[in-house]
Amino acid sequence: MNPIALPDLRSSEHHGLVIIEGIMGSGKSTTMRLVAKALEDAGRPALAVHERADPHPVRATDELQHWFEPWRESTAEQLGRRALSRWRSFVEEVQLGVAVPVLDGQLFHGDLTNLFLMEASFDEIATYCRSLTQLIGPLQPLVVYLRQESVERAVRTVCAERGEAWVKYQVDWKLKGPYAVRRNLVGLEGLIALYQDYRLMTDALFERLTLDKVVIENSERDWARYNQQVLERLGLDGVPSAS
């Protein structure tokens, strides 16, 4: 099947959805808030959707009793179908409204991450991503991919910033999944290895995306410059102060 050819649109007036992607601690939430505020300041109603929003408009694991460990009650195929159904309803609602949703992850981060943790194959995940791309295509989304050259450095940095309790939370959650268990990934080193594999996957998925997209290499944490790059891609003037 040939990829869908979408116009190369560069103005926020054409984007009906903005998705901020990247690994944990890459700046997704901060960038999501920045974009939503810039859209509002430009006179475009925006809806900032944090990854912890409850209820979340597209996260399918919210429907599960063991949402923290979806592999306990769902196959990857079942979860993928649930997720696509929620996205379909979300797109229909957005088309009826005027606000531009700005999502903290959920294209790669979110249910797709769970498919990865559940050890779905790359082909299965790529098929899911392609189906999702087709669903959201009518909204003319922009995907902002926050990327760091060294995954290990990025993970160690965010873990040092957020402390031992947060690291334990991440390890106890993500290394219980089938992907980590089968590979004997444990502790912080296991978490780093998990994210190195995850980033290889998301790099490949991002390369295949047929949507308007931009990658921001933010390893040096020069937030004012990165913010400028994102807002310029959206055709928005002015850069709020970096937080």
Report pLDDT digits (tens) over 179-215. Answer: 999 999 999 999 999 999 999 999 999 999 999 999 9
If pLDDT is split at 50, 70 and 90, which confidence band does 239 have?
A: very low
Please say whether the beta carbons of 38 and 91 come within 8 A. Answer: no
The residues near 173 (Cβ < 8 Å, ≥ 6 apart) are 68
If pLDDT is split at 50, 70 and 90, which confidence band does 8 have?
A: very low
Q: Does 190 fall in a domain? A: no
Q: Does 87 fall in a domain? A: yes
For position 14, what pLDDT does the model report? Answer: 83
Q: Does 239 fall in a domain? A: no
* pLDDT over 90 percentage in the chain: 88
Q: Does 193 fall in a domain? A: no
Whether this prediction's pTM lies above 0.85 is answered by yes
The amino acid occupying position 184 is N
Res 71 pLDDT > 90: yes
The CA–CA distances, whole Å, from 176 to 52, 171, 173, 188 equal 20, 8, 6, 13
Structural domains in the chain (count): 1
Among the listed residues 212, 197, 87, 221, the one whose alpha carbon sits nearest the alpha carbon of residue 146: 221
CB atoms within 10 A of CB 11: 12
Q: Does 13 fall in a domain? A: no
Task: Provide mean pLDDT across the span 60-85.
Answer: 95
Res 2 pLDDT > 50: no
Tell me the per-residue pLDDT of 169-183, one tens digit each, with 9 for 90 and over: 999 999 999 999 999
Identify the domain containing residue 124 by its residue range.
18-148+211-233
Is omega for the bond preceding 55 within 30 degrees of 0, making it cis?
yes
Q: Does 56 fall in a domain? A: yes
Among the listed residues 65, 48, 181, 155, the one whose alpha carbon sits nearest the alpha carbon of residue 106: 48
For position 6, what pLDDT does the model report? Answer: 36
Q: Does 127 fall in a domain? A: yes
Question: Chain-wide mean pLDDT for the chain?
Answer: 91
Report the CATH number that the domain containing residue 133 is assigned in CATH: 3.40.50.300
Please say whether the beta carbons of 59 and 68 come within 8 A. Answer: no
Token pair for 171: 């390890």
If pLDDT is split at 50, 70 and 90, which confidence band does 145 have?
A: very high
Q: Does 116 fall in a domain? A: yes
User: What angle separates helix 28-41 from helix 223-233, to the nearest 10 degrees?
Assistant: 50
The amino acid occupying position 72 is R
If pLDDT is split at 50, 70 and 90, which confidence band does 13 have?
A: low
